[in-house]
Amino acid sequence: MVESTNEWMSPRRLVTLGLLIGSFMGSMEATVVATAMPTIVGQLGGLNVYGWAFSIYVLASSAGIPVAGKLSDIFGRRIVYAWSMALFLAASLLCAVAPTMLWLIVFRALQGLGAAGLLPLAIIMIGDMFTFQERARVQALFSGVWGVSSIAGPLFGGFLVDKVGWPAVFYVNVPFGLLSAWLVWHWWVDHHELAAGKPHIDYPGAIAVSAAAIVLLLALVDAVSVQGAGLLAVAMGLGYVAFRVEKASPDPIIPVRLFHWRLFSVSILHSLVIGWLLNGVTAYVPLFVQEVQKGSATEAGAALSPMLLAWVTASTVCARLMLKVGYRPPAIGGMAGAIAGSLLLAMMTATSPRWLLLSAMLVMGAGFGFTVPAVLIAVQTTVERQSMGAATSMIQFSRSMGGSIGVGVMGAFLNWEVKRTGLAVALERTFWVAGVMTVLGLLITLSAPVISAEEMGRRR
């Protein structure tokens, strides 16, 4: 942990600034190419593999999250962050000069592997730097960065393509990435216990976990097809192999023993549900605004803004509340708020006023702002220091997987309903799926163990 001072330019604040820049870049890169891809395809060709330029980045970044978190426990946060940024920037330069679409896809995979170390390490390092009392306020800031990047990415990408050219979408990462890497490298000091002597690296576990994650994500692209079902069966088999490998490893990438801890198991299931809801709502609310309510693309994007603003505000309130009542009341209350928001969303029809949709997004965002940081901070506060990276990265990984599962399942349900009822009714019923998931999330959160605010502060 970096020592803090009262000065504005304290090492801790400079590191936080570097992490914010890196997180913004890593999360925005998933969407910034959206408006550049039509131009890229026009110049490089490869329309038949167009979708892989997007999905390979998500696959690589999701699969690499547990590995990056564990490596940071072994070698330290600074060196893993630096190598991750170096890989991300090198891949960005290669993307900018890619001669064909296939090479672009390869370089996007390398970009994703680099991002796998940027996004979770930011959350892990927040847990190292900030006290229990400070953490939720800082995580609210990072939540805002991720939300802004998802909205700004396509707009910024379109501007660069129109004014500079599509390679600029990748070149622009370099100056900001170097600044982020310098701030973290120069000011960060690892204070948690690192591996002594020659560290044990669980290569079989890393390969098994990554393979299972990649195949599962591929299966979720089209889970209702024969091919998707086959890939799902393969993913389950690889998951079992990964479990056996990790259980036998002396220092596994995913410590199986953490799942014996009830709070951690609850946090994993909680993150799966949150990822499902967040990605599902983000994917289908804009579609509802444009296709059912006949709104513009700008109106569709603006419909998500209240969720982001409420999330950031509620996270700040959550920080103060947890000091008095612990993590459980805000976590449970947040899920109840998400249920209320999903019910408002499920009431939407083609003729519903826009304020009803905005209210649904506002209430749901406030619910997320309470429940997400409460559960994450509870885990970070009570987990053993040497397992902080592995535990935090697994929560991030679960949220990513939950998002992929949610979009896939809700998409399959939507396609099935469209054939029976048409798009408008199908989308309305798809939102009921989100409502069911919020109820499940509440039941999961209710099973979390009771830990008082005093106990949390004492443990950390």
Range in 84-88, 367-371, 449-453 with the lowest mean pLDDT: 449-453
Question: For position 273, what pLDDT does the model report?
Answer: 93
pLDDT digits (tens, 9 = 90+) for 373-410: 889 888 888 888 777 778 888 888 888 888 878 877 88
Average pLDDT, the chain: 82
pLDDT digits (tens, 9 = 90+) for 25-55: 877 776 677 667 778 878 888 767 766 777 7
Question: For position 340, what pLDDT does the model report?
Answer: 94
Whole-number Å distance between alpha carbons of 19 and 240:
35
Question: For position 3, what pLDDT does the model report?
Answer: 45
Tell me, letter by letter, the H, E, C secondary structure of the chain: CCCCCCCCCCHHHHHHHHHHHHHHHHHHHHHHCCCCHHHHHHHHCCHHHCCHHHHHHHHHHHHHHHHHHHHHHHHCHHHHHHHHHHHHHHHHHHHHCCCCHHHHHHHHHHHHHHHHHHHHHHHHHHHHHCCHHHHHHHHHHHHHHHHHHHHHHHHHHHHHHHHCCCCHHHHCHHHHHHHHHHHHHHHCCCCCCCCCCCCCCCHHHHHHHHHHHHHHHHHHHCCCCHHHHHHHHHHHHHHHHHHHHHHHCCCCCCCHHHHHCHHHHHHHHHHHHHHHHHHHHHHHHHHHHHHHCCCCHHHHHHCCHHHHHHHHHHHHHHHHHHHHHCCHHHHHHHHHHHHHHHHHHHCCCCCCCHHHHHHHHHHHHHHHHHHHHHHHHHHHHHCCHHHHHHHHHHHHHHHHHHHHHHHHHHHHHHHHHHHHHCHHHHHHHHHHHHHHHHHHHHHHHHCCCCCCHHHHHHHC
Boundaries of CATH 1.20.1250.20 in the chain? 1-202+249-253, 256-460
Question: For position 146, what pLDDT does the model report?
Answer: 66
Angle between helices 262-287 and 388-421 (to 10 degrees): 40
Query: Domain 1-202+249-253 sits in which CATH superfamily?
Result: MFS general substrate transporter like domains (1.20.1250.20)
At residue 4, does pLDDT exceed 60? no
CATH 1.20.1250.20 correct for 256-460: yes
Specify burial of residue 416 (Cβ count, 10 A radius: 0-12, 13-18, 19+): middle
Task: Give the mean pLDDT of 293-311.
Answer: 77
pLDDT digits (tens, 9 = 90+) for 310-351: 887 888 788 778 888 888 999 999 999 999 999 998 888 888
pLDDT digits (tens, 9 = 90+) for 94-152: 999 999 888 988 898 899 889 888 888 888 888 788 877 677 677 767 766 766 666 66
At residue 2, does pLDDT exceed 50? no
Cα 41 to its chain centre, rounded Å, is: 28
At residue 193, does pLDDT exceed 70? no
Question: For position 403, what pLDDT does the model report?
Answer: 81
pLDDT tier at 5, thresholds 50, 70, 90: very low
Whole-number Å distance between alpha carbons of 438 and 20:
29
